[in-house]
Chains A and B, each alone.
Chain A
């Protein structure tokens, strides 16, 4: 165990810090979930990419910097220290990208990774269907083979980023009459292909960050399939592992929130409850614990290990920590918590953050599903009805 950085790692941190100081927008961007904010965030993706900061762990050939996971963590820490914008392309760089790296052909890597790293193509994910949410294996959208194309029909929903994104990825039933996890294929598609209709879904805060997608005989070339026909479930689970596990929510995000919460507490100390004080202290501790754990996972992967069902532990931990921190902030704000903007005109980002934090335990596989996965795969408890 060596819990200090090498001089090279410290120098890398200084590079990232200097770049962030020079480039992070001074004013907060509009929300990613409206057209104006989306465009601003895409522009930020391109600024990052202009100096190859799009995805630092990818090989240089695909637009990255070929760095290791420790450097990625340092990058992320500095990213959140600088309060840089959310990543418009998180579905691409954190989820699909690593999946293509693992399952894609060389041709697919060349074709998809570089535009992804460069922020030229923004990705949406399209997994859930009206009848297949937590029970994802119940999906019924079909892909029927017709020569060198699949013809997609069906409906996807809660498709993150799909209101504005360029491309999407999802799983489709390519083997007629197949059941559950079998007969599914992982397919990438241009969201502007004829036959795709997007219907943005207005969320409880009024903006439309996700959308429904309707597929009406949509022709997609076979070379857009990732991995073999019928192997879609395993590929999707790998993607889900990246989502829940390491990449989607790096610790810096929560350490930054904890720090802001501590600052907020100092401002409101005079009327704060003892419970809120304890929650603030615990927020620091939990965010640090998440960071230590992530460094330990990174060390394991660097040594050749893999992250499996433990990813579900991470997902529960960060999503519930985020909700707790924002709830505490709302309590500290008291009467002001309901204001979208404070009397001085500044945005109440805690309110926005609290509303968003309520989605964390639901998206990327609900926390109930994660607890089932932990119980069944880490603890070896039986499935209901199997005994």
Chain B
């Protein structure tokens, strides 16, 4: 029993965070938003970092990592509100293709030559497709319609897990933007962050995010270990991460005051990502129903969840 990340996992995160934060600041997001284009150089950079092939087996030229590492990188993508659909291709499509024994595209994905996004009936569009465009409130998600969406539960769980992980990073980022603003904005002769009315709201966000994190990591490990109850843990993760990020988004705009309502302040990129991901791959109600079924399902329960102090990891 060891609920901690390995040295390798920690350095993977540190490496990705250093790479992203040096290159994909808000100025990049603004340029992409204004140009309405993806910059191919960015995908090239992600490929060189090995991130497109993170979960691709080494035989196909990837790093052969697992879903825990995938979730950790998804959180880093959320932290920078990455515009490129790296999560859709590398962290959702790749493990789904592997689960189906469909390895044909993997080498090209790892090499950065191919992007694959898979649509699920629960959200029948693609973030990165070539159908008719649909306009998302998140200007950095390029949604298009699809003809045929999949209806595979494993795909749904992958999408939900990686969305939950992104929401953790999105929440962390919004919180630190609000905190930095509260330190520099002064009123009544004080930084507004000195007032308890601000402090306590931000402290609530820390609590929500910090207690959602272990739920997400536990879900990632459960999926990686292919536990029969992994879908329940994924729903718990998506539910907790959605609530934490939503609370943080609303708190962050409130702390920014009227500035938070402007395009000029960066917050809105993360807030819009939060809104999009909150509903993607199963919304709050969908995941609550799945947990409800496991906890209160009674006879014929598809996910007979053992409940009680001795069942923390049952």
Contact = CB atoms under 8 A, between A and B. Distances in A.
A285 to B, nearest CB: 5
B219 to A, nearest CB: 10
B202 A379 contact: yes
Contacts of A374: 199, 203, 206-207
B63 interface: no
Contacts of A371: 196, 199-200, 203-204
Given A3-B3, A262-B296, A382-B193, A310 B210 contact: yes
Interface string A186-217: 00000000000000000000000000000000
Interface in A258-305: 258-259, 262, 265-266, 277-278, 280-281, 284-286, 288-293, 295-296, 298-300, 303
Contact of B214 (A76, A77, A253, A296): A296
A292 B312 contact: yes
Interface string B205-227: 01100111011011001100100
B6 interface: yes
A278 B284 CA distance: 12
A378 interface: yes
A112 B193 CA distance: 44
A316 B207 contact: yes
A291 B312 contact: yes
A77 B309 contact: yes
B interface secondary structure, majority: helix
A335 interface: no
Contacts, number: 178
A80 B215 CA distance: 22
A255 interface: yes
A4 B1 contact: yes
Interface in B37-82: 68
A1 B5 CA distance: 5
B240 interface: yes
B239 interface: yes
Interface residues on B, range: 35 or more
Contacts of A387: 186, 189-191, 194
A376 B199 contact: yes
Contacts of B264: none
Contacts of B309: 76-78, 80-81, 251-253, 255-256, 259
Contacts of B214: 289, 292-293, 295-296
Interface stretch (A5-13, A89-97, A158-166, A351-359): A5-13
Contact of B196 (A5, A281, A372): A372
Nearest to A296: B3
A381 B55 CA distance: 39
Contacts of B239: 285
B2 interface: yes
A147 interface: no
A2 B207 contact: no
Contacts of A293: 210-211, 214
A292 B199 contact: no
Given A281-B288, A375-B199, A1 B310 contact: no
B302 interface: no
Contact of A299 (B4, B196, B308, B313): B4
13 contacts: A1-B68, A3-B218, A3-B313, A5-B1, A77-B312, A255-B308, A285-B215, A285-B236, A291-B312, A295-B312, A313-B211, A317-B211, A371-B200
Please provide the 9 A-B residue pairs with the shortest distance between their CB atoms, ordered closest to farther: A375-B199, A252-B309, A292-B214, A381-B193, A371-B203, A299-B4, A374-B203, A295-B3, A255-B309
Given A3-B218, A4-B313, 19 more contacts: A1-B4, A1-B9, A1-B68, A9-B1, A252-B309, A262-B296, A266-B296, A281-B291, A289-B212, A292-B217, A295-B1, A299-B2, A317-B207, A371-B196, A375-B198, A375-B199, A381-B179, A383-B194, A387-B194
